[in-house]
Chains A and B, each alone.
Chain A
Amino acid sequence: MAVTREAMLEPWEQPAFWRRLTIWDALWTLLVAVGASYAGWFYRAEMDGYEVAILFGGALALIAWGLYWKPARLFALAVALLALLALWRYGTDYELRKSDFLLKYFLESQAAFMWMSALYVLATVAYFAALFSRSEFVGKTATALTWSATVLGMTGLLTRWRESYLLGADIGHIPVSNLYEVFILFALITALLYLFYEDRHRTRAMGGFALLAISGAVAFLLWYTFDREAHHIQPLIPALQSYWMKIHVPANFIGYGAFALAAMLGVAYLLRQRAETRHPDGLLAVVLPPLELLDDVMYKAIALGFAAFTIATILGALWAAEAWGGYWSWDPKETWALIVWLNYAAWLHLRLTKGWRGAPMAWWAIVGLFVTLFAFLGVNMFLSGLHSYGTL
């Protein structure tokens, strides 16, 4: 067993959690706490008790995230600064988006989403180029591209949030209210999940595959924008006017993002396995990510997705109880959420208790993505029900 440097430095007594924190951790905590408090004070007239709770819950989650995974801090800071810049440029005039240089070309939500889209596609190409050229530099570029895309996309979402209020106080809402907006959320969450695993496992080999899923979402977004003009900010229908939306939807998309990631790793798994059996000396058998890594991250992604999806479905049920009069109505969207959930429960049992590994699990994860995709898109397109995310 190789002894890592961290382990070498490990003291006899493992210090308590809080003693391991550095001055930076303290600063981070302070910054988020102050930022959230300021935001809470600034928008106090706009928020009810639940929303204040969500704000501080969100701030705690952000602090925890930053303590658990350091790169999250830089990300959050960059997004916060850019979003504040956009808010400052806007003032109270929505029309400035057409004339202010910074807004028009970078920070206005549409502009930011276009940058995000372009950067994600470039990152996909770069990851594959890095895979085959085995160039460290190209790999770093790919990572940087992915981070930039994610920063801009997240900035765009925050800006859009503000823009909706600029359109009218009664129109304003968090931008997770329709298919267009949640597709952006999907791309961002998938990217962040991937970046986390890239950082923790110190490998970029999985990047191309993860980014392929994101590029797929980007392709859909572009079609949706240019062909269907779905990017316009729409007022919220009454059913969605609830604080629950703020937590239910993001939780769901952690699930969707994680499942999508797992499926793409499943694809990589199958490719690598094929390459190893057919051309053990070929390039593919060497450059593709190793099987154990894929298997491990696939499991982690599905476990995370399952946990998030469990919470999201529970939140959805609680919301339904408040909006529709019952926590469960067998509405098609709900039912498909259950189907997705049961499917991954079966996957987890097969792996954990029956010890299945390898190709069958990879295939199952890929099929799982189609089931998930149907729950996420197909239900809106083909089935009718109480969920009002609207059709395409």
Chain B
Amino acid sequence: MSDTVTARKPFQRRTLGWVLLEFLGSMNLAITLLVVVAVASIIGTVLQQNQSYPDYVLKFGPFWFETFDRLGLYDVYGAVWFIAILGFLVLSTSVCLYRQVPGMAREMVRFRTQVRLESLRGFHQHAEWWLPEQLPGSVLAEVTGAFRARGYRWRVQDHGDHQVAAAMKGRYQRLGYLFTHAAVVVIGIGGLLDGNLWLKLKEWRGEIAVETRDLAARDVPPVSRLAPGATPSFRGNIMLPEGSAANFVFLRLRDGFLVQELPFAIELKDFQVEYHATGQPKSFVSQVRIHDREHLGDRPLEATIRVNHPLIYRDYAIYQSDFGDGGSKLELRIWPLTGGRLEPVEVKGEVGGALKVAGPAGLFGLELTEFRLFNLMPEPGARPGDRKFRNFGPSVGFKLRAPAGEAREYLNYMAPVQLEGRWFFVSGVRARPGAEFAYLHIPADANDSPERFLRFNARLRDEEGLRALLTRAPAPTGNPDFQRDLAQVRLNLVELFLQGGFAAVTERARAVVPADRLQEATKLYLEILRDTLAEVFIEVLRAEGMKPEQGVGEREDAFFNDALSALATLPAYGSPFYPQLTGFQQVEASGLQVTHSNATGVVYAGFAFLSIGVFLLFYTSHRRLWAWIAAEEGGSRLILAGAGNRRQAEFAREFAALETVLARRLGAPEPRADN
């Protein structure tokens, strides 16, 4: 900036306003703010924004949850302090513009014919000629001719003993500064207008209140509703099931929402997900109808909305942003897992709805939370890089709420899944949202049904039947007491096993058997248990009409082992039922985002300024040339000097070329003193 003159009167009065202006427009503040905004922005990328508040509590614990909430960290970019820093940056840039632009404008129009000889000689680019027998007038003509040839504009001023021709080119570089910095201000203001400033303002004035209850849109009270046009801009979402319509969207705000009404209704006719052969989604397409009596009359507007292809209707833009379930109709067979009788209950429900199911300790709530038609997942046992995927078919997700209120989440696959060559009904369970699922693998029987396993399980829990079975055979030693005791031991072992798996059995052994005989005794216990279970299993097979006396096949053997593993995980499974998905009718829902913005044009204008501005700044250069011509005894003296405010190397080359041209016409310049 060697050639920028910032003329300030030496004895200006330091009023408060001046000091403030000086501070706001200072380069140090500007650079500090640039860095501070950058650093503050990091927070919101590290801490996931706008999640549900209970999730935050779980993640951080009550103390930090509270602290972070106070600091506004769950919505950093809407936090007052963050907006204030951004505001400061914009303010600082404005002040900077205010102070620089007049100087720059002067730079653009002034030719600076007032220069001193010494300063010209001090320029990095300068050359000096002693031209005997030449008149200043003809030298001036040569020089200005050279200026003209290179596209410079110039002014000549006569200072009496010498003349100065001051030339310049590329003064639009200065506009680069103006464009770039004005763009920052314009984008900042536009962004602010498009942000949720209006909502904040309304909230602050008490005109609206965020709704935090889980209400249907029609039940939301007026204080949480916004009429069309209540704020100049918004961005809201709606999940529309196929066949339904809505004339509002939800605006998420902190831990709640507001309902923004629309001046038209969107009806979702159809939502389609297409898949590639590999199972990845290929397209999400919503067929919608816009109903708007006022503008469209009775003929709704038909439109297709896809990702990257929004629908613009009036001043509203409607985007494909999400998809989900719109209340698929499900048929379930609820198998009891804890009783001695196997009587399944058939129920029907809808995703999003809840059912009541009688359980051992009262009524359980079965909340159907999701249905998925495809479950594309990595092939079990594949390495991460293998990229082998398998479609595990339809699944139902539900929450089972015990009478006491606590709930667990389950995920059941409809079709049996093949693992290591055998087929299983898979059901995942987790106690906390976001935790990993633990899986129960129920072996599938020959009819592709979980029934055999469930009958086996029920049989084991039917104490009377079991006792009858175990005492049925004649006592081996003819000692009925022994037989009765043995039967009791076997019953106890089965019960232990059903309550806590194999671990419970070994634990019991540890509790009652002296240490030196523990190993032996545990082994014996497990053997007895296994024999007992096998005996019951054979009974189950017999009831199916098989003839176990003629030998049990390998398949049944494997089934038995798998059934034992499943039985052993049942206690951890924690549900008194196994709800089997037996039928479904999928209803999809499309997540649409509706936006309305009044400052997009402002921001885009800022973008245009910025793009032009940076290129002007970097790739043009405001160049000045001076020719000082003085008549001396016997000839003339010419001093040529120049400077550019950018692209020094290019300017040096240009100056050298000019010098060469003049040298060809006027003769060689004098050798430079500083070379």
Contact = CB atoms under 8 A, between A and B. Distances in A.
A7 B278 contact: no
Q: Point out which of B34, B321, B387 has the most chain A C-beta atoms below 10 A from its C-beta.
A: B34
A237 B281 contact: yes
B281 A322 contact: no
B385 A383 contact: no
Contact of A238 (B282, B386, B656): B282
Contacts of B151: 14
B44 A335 contact: yes
Contacts of B201: none
Interface in A89-129: none
Given A1-B656, A227-B385, A352-B1, A239 B282 contact: no
A8 B280 CA distance: 64
Interface stretch (B404-412, B418-426, B603-611): B603-611
A281 interface: no
B34 A306 contact: no
Contacts of A206: none
Main secondary structure of the interface of B (DSSP, over half): helix
Given A4-B653, A229-B386, A354-B27, A241 B45 contact: no
B41 A238 contact: no
Interface in A183-233: 227-230, 232
Given A1-B656, A242-B308, A323 B27 contact: no
Interface in B249-267: none
B506 interface: no
Interface stretch (A33-41, A74-82, A134-142, A339-347): A339-347
A7 B657 contact: yes
A349 B614 contact: no
B300 interface: no
A327 B603 contact: yes
Interface stretch (A22-30, A282-290, A307-315): A307-315
Contacts of A239: 307-308
Contact of B235 (A10, A325, A339): A325
Contacts of B324: none
A170 B656 contact: no
Contacts of B27: 349, 353-354
Contacts of B277: 168
Nearest to B124: A1
B216 interface: no
A321 B149 CA distance: 47
Given A237-B280, A238-B306, A352-B1, A307 B48 contact: no
Contacts of A10: 657, 660-661
B193 to A, nearest CB: 12
A361 to B, nearest CB: 13
Interface residues of B, number: 74
A324 B307 CA distance: 8
Contacts of A342: 34-35, 37-38, 41
Nearest to A303: B618
B659 interface: yes
Contacts of A296: 649
A3 B659 contact: yes
B649 A306 contact: no
A9 B127 CA distance: 19
A338 interface: yes
B49 interface: yes
Contacts of B615: 307
A235 interface: yes
Q: Point out which of B31, B611, B655, B675 has the most chain A C-beta atoms below 10 A from its C-beta.
A: B31
Contact of B42 (A7, A14, A339, A385): A339
A14 B385 contact: no
Contacts of A350: 31
A314 B607 contact: yes
Contacts of B672: 1
A171 B277 CA distance: 10
Contacts of A383: 45-46
A171 to B, nearest CB: 7
A335 B87 CA distance: 17
Given A7-B660, A237-B280, A339-B42, A325 B310 contact: yes
B25 to A, nearest CB: 12
A7 B653 contact: yes
A239 B319 CA distance: 12
Given A10-B661, A327-B603, A349-B27, A235 B34 contact: no
12 contacts: A7-B656, A8-B660, A14-B150, A235-B280, A238-B283, A239-B308, A303-B618, A310-B610, A318-B607, A323-B308, A338-B41, A339-B42
Interface of A: 1-4, 6-8, 10-14, 168, 170-171, 227-230, 232, 234-235, 237-239, 241-242, 244, 296, 303-304, 306-307, 310-311, 314, 317-318, 321-328, 330, 332, 335-336, 338-339, 342-343, 345-346, 349-350, 352-354, 379, 383-385
List 9 A-B pairs, minimum CB-CB distance, nearest first. A229-B385, A332-B45, A238-B307, A325-B319, A342-B38, A346-B34, A242-B308, A325-B593, A10-B657
Given A12-B661, A327-B600, A338-B38, 15 more contacts: A1-B125, A1-B652, A1-B655, A7-B657, A12-B664, A168-B277, A171-B276, A239-B308, A307-B614, A322-B310, A330-B44, A335-B42, A342-B37, A346-B34, A383-B45
